[in-house]
Amino acid sequence: MTAKKTFPNPPRRVALFVTCMVDMLYPEVGMATVELLEKQGIEVVFPEAQTCCGQPAFNAGFRDEARVLARRFVDIFEPLVISGQVDAVVAPSGSCVTMVTHFYDVLFESESAVEYRYRAANLAAATFELTEFLVDVLGVTDVKSRFDGKLTYHASCHLLRELGVDRQPRALLENVAGAELVPLDGADECCGFGGLFAIKNGPISTAMGERKAANIIKSGADVATLCDVSCMTHINGLLSRQQQRCRVVHIAQVLNNQVDVADSPGTSRADVAAPEPSRRWQDAREEK
């Protein structure tokens, strides 16, 4: 893997890689990501042609299909990085970032794809997971957030073991005012999602997830946080089926004050109010 891009000057503009799951299922996570970045003075652009990075096809072994999507992804994001239109690409997902930073290299191994391999490496160097970007690039560990209750943290597999990102989200959570960070047994153990694994091996996946859900309940946390909505969908799917009170939310939502401990467990996304735009605009204007 290529070395990560360094920033002699503080980055000013990033391209958001929102991921297809966030786009379609959890837009509030995408908005939280945008707002978090904007609060740090970062301008966010959203290349609207983006869809999926190709990870589901790649994980299932369908490399030709994954390669088509990977090329498309490189074509959309790499020119922005190379031309200096953005300083980095940021995504609220450890596993989608891993796809770009680690697995595009595998997809473009063949000689005929050497151009894309090179371009993918450029892109990989400038692509960051959200907490990684906040902590390692911006040097921020306190985003002035508040949560009055108990929080715990589940370390998603790709984020932890491929990207090696773990202290970054924990550092951010430690600075959430009012929150008590409680330990989670088996925090680094897989929740059993694994993409198509959850369908192809449903019963095993469920057994793994039930263990994760039980550990979360045992932790006593009001809310478990993580950096991947895929794991979130899996664990919440189990907690919801079991009609548990606690639930899992994306770290961006906690850091952006979108989570309240009093929220009832059955709250569906539709009930979550769309973020108020005016406040952000005033912020932006004041800066000018």
For the bound state, the minimum distance from the C-beta of residue 141 to another protein, rounded and expressed in Å, comes to: 26
**Across the strands, what pairs with 247?**
223
Q: Candidates 44-52, 114-122, 246-254, 255-263 — which segment interacts with another protein by CB under 8 A? A: 44-52
The closest of 54, 65, 61, 35 to 99, measured between CA atoms, is: 54
Report if residue 149 touches another protein, rule: CB under 8 A. Answer: no
Report if residue 26 touches another protein, rule: CB under 8 A. Answer: yes
The enclosing H or E element of 74 equals helix 63-82
For the bound state, the minimum distance from the C-beta of residue 175 to another protein, rounded and expressed in Å, comes to: 27
Contact residues for 67 (Cβ-Cβ < 8 A; gap 6+): 54, 107, 108, 113
Position among 15, 69, 120, 254 found at the interface with another protein (CB under 8 A): 69
**Across the strands, what pairs with 177?**
146
Q: Candidates 50-58, 111-119, 126-134, 170-178 — which segment interacts with another protein by CB under 8 A? A: 50-58
Instruction: With beta carbons less than 8 A apart as the criterion, state whether 36 and 256 touch.
Output: yes
Nearer of residues 163 and 179 to another protein, judged by Cβ: 163
In the region spanning residues 234 to 263, those forming contacts with another protein, defined by CB under 8 A, are: 234, 236-238, 240-241
Position among 52, 91, 100, 226 found at the interface with another protein (CB under 8 A): 52
Instruction: With beta carbons less than 8 A apart as the criterion, state whether 170 and 138 touch.
Output: no
> CA–CA separation, 273 vs 99, rounded Å?
31
Report if residue 277 touches another protein, rule: CB under 8 A. Answer: yes
